[in-house]
Amino acid sequence: MRSPSLLVAVLAVAGLAQEIPGDLWQARDLEGRWVVVERSLNERPEALEEWCTFLVKSKDFELLEWLALYREAYGPVQALHAARAPQWVRAAVWASRNVVGHANWALQLLESEPGVVLPWLEEYDQLRALQASLAEGDARREGIEDLLPPLQEHTVLAHLEPGEHVQSFAERLVAEPRVTYLHQLRRELRGMHLANLYHDPWLGHLTALTSHASPEVRAMVWRAFTFAPADLIPRELARAAAHDPVSRLAEREAAFLAYSYCPHPAVFADLHQLAADPAAPLWSAAVSRLADLGTGFSLGLLDRIEADRLDLARRRLLDEGRAQIAAREAQPRDAASFAAGLATMLVRAAWADLACHPLETSLLPWTQEQVRARLGEPEVRAELARLAHDYTSPLEGEFGALQERVRSFAKEWGE
């Protein structure tokens, strides 16, 4: 164990002397140290390099590996490699599945060390394509006895099946046995996304956590679902949670945000219905999402809201949402791009029509007007003809007539 004075010196060298006194760092266990690092990086993301330097100098490789697994950064993997830490190969292999752009870097790092990496990959039967590629070379094989075995999903995501009680770590220095903390869930939900682990049992655990006893956990999980593939978000569960009058607004907004990513046409209709009513509890969340994905139809709806009846914060939100959509709509849209979006436009209109949604009386004429305004473009006419004859709906189980309604609109509006 390093002395407090030495740790203080190492912290100073790494530029972290103000983050935590050396004696308090030494008193913390791995979870306690993670909380400090996470808090530091949330407040000052640029401190990551300083933390990597410090963790290498203090040989805290386990914590450095956690940074590699749970943060959107490649620096910790590079630091593990540079230090020849026992974790470096397995951390790089894990990073090769990263969804935020680090996979190629990780593979390049592994390719740069064939003498070590190939025996390790063969020993543990990992990354067979890379094995085959490296085996074509003539690198001298080295020993791997100092390298740790591969990471396992159930270890990286060990806390995604917590008990009924999940606690805040607060000002603790060490974790209590058999207790799950909020930061552990938050960390592993991020790790699940970064490694693209959207399959069972983890996807099942994620869905089950939307019914957890803790409102903080439920809200956290709904926010995590916004990073999942849209077709895996439990749409009806999310909608029910968003409209649950008993739940806290923060949880409802998190569930609504997850719901808003679902590709179902009902989502588009519900977003606009809520955005049209400033008295709705979810109005701000709806306007915020329309700012991200709204169309010219959305802009027209927001323009009809009487802004002078809103408080300053909501008026600013409305103005910013309008400006964001207007800027997007002002961008020229060529015929190919418009044609590519025709199916979505017609499905939304057809669904609103068949569902007798309040939006149908405004969405249908707007969609028809948009389509007919571009009938002079061959790409648009060709796509309408294709939809009129070949459109197949994935939603036939809900509305058997949806497919025929889309085809009918395509034929009628394309003439």
Label residue 229 left, alpha or beta by phi (over 0 means left) and psi (-120 to 50 means alpha): beta
At residue 329 the predicted structure's pLDDT band, cuts being 50, 70 and 90, is very high
Q: Are 61 and 85 in contact (CB under 8 A)?
A: yes
Q: Which tokens is 152 given?
A: 């396992």
DSSP state of 359: T
Over residues 225-245, mean pLDDT: 96
Residue 245: phi and psi, rounded to 5, are -70, -15
What are the residues whose beta carbons fall under 8 Å from the beta carbon of 199, sequence distance 6 or more?
Answer: none
**What are the residues whose beta carbons fall under 8 Å from the beta carbon of 206, sequence distance 6 or more?**
160, 189, 192, 221, 224, 225, 228
Percent of the chain whose pLDDT exceeds 90: 86
Assess contact for 273 and 358: CB atoms under 8 A.
yes
Which single residue is written with the structure tokens 């995590």?
Answer: 224
Structure confidence by residue, pLDDT tens digits, 286-325: 999 999 999 999 999 999 999 999 999 999 999 999 999 9
Of 217, 214, 227, the C-alpha closest to 257 is 227
- Tens-place pLDDT, residues 53-89: 999 999 999 999 999 999 988 999 999 999 999 999 9
Token readout for 255 is 């569930």
Q: With 50 as the cut, is the pLDDT of residue 45 above it? A: yes
Instruction: Give the span between the Cα atoms of 44 and 46, in whole angstroms.
Output: 5
Neighbour count for residue 111 (Cβ, 10 Å): 14
- The three-state secondary structure class of 249 is helix
Cis peptide before 150 (omega within 30 of 0): no
Determine the Cα–Cα distance for residues 388 and 41; give it in Å rounded to an integer. Answer: 53
Residues 79-121: pLDDT tens digits?
Answer: 999 999 999 999 999 999 988 877 899 999 999 999 999 999 9
What lies within 8 Å, CB to CB, of 165 at 6+ separation is 179, 180, 213, 214
d(CA 207, CA 203): 6
Residue 400 confidence class, pLDDT cut points 50, 70, 90: low
Write out the E strands in 227-367. none
Which phi and psi angles does 180 have, rounded to 5°?
Answer: -100, 135
Span 257-266, mean pLDDT?
95
pLDDT bracket for residue 9 (50, 70, 90): very low
Residue 238 has a pLDDT of 98
Residue 161 CA to chain centroid, in angstroms? 20
Q: What angle do CA 250, 251, 255 make, to 5 degrees?
A: 120
- pLDDT for res 35: 95
**Burial track 117-141 (b if 16+ CB lie within 10 A, e otherwise):** bbbbbeeeebbeebeeebeeeeeee
List, in order, residues 6 or more apart from 147 with CB less than 8 Å away: 86, 88, 89, 90, 116, 120
- pLDDT-derived band of residue 223, with 50, 70 and 90 as boundaries? very high
Confidence of residue 221 (pLDDT cuts 50, 70, 90): very high
Q: Nearest Cα to 97, choosing from 193, 187, 188? A: 193
pLDDT band at 1 (very low <50, low <70, confident <90, very high): very low
- Tell me the mean pLDDT in the region 354-372: 95
Where does 249-401 show beta strands of DSSP type E? none
Taking the whole predicted model, whether its pTM rises above 0.85 is answered as: yes
| 18 pLDDT tier (thresholds 50, 70, 90) | low
Mean local confidence (pLDDT), 199-213: 95
User: Mean pLDDT, the chain, as a whole number?
Assistant: 92
Place of tokens 């939006």: 359
Residue 100 has what pLDDT?
82
Tally Cβ neighbours within 10 Å of residue 275.
26
CA distance 376 to 229: 36
Residue 201 makes CB contacts below 8 A (sequence gap 6+) with: none
Does 371 have pLDDT greater than 70?
Answer: yes
CB count within 10 Å of CB 233 equals 23
pLDDT, average across residues 250-275: 96
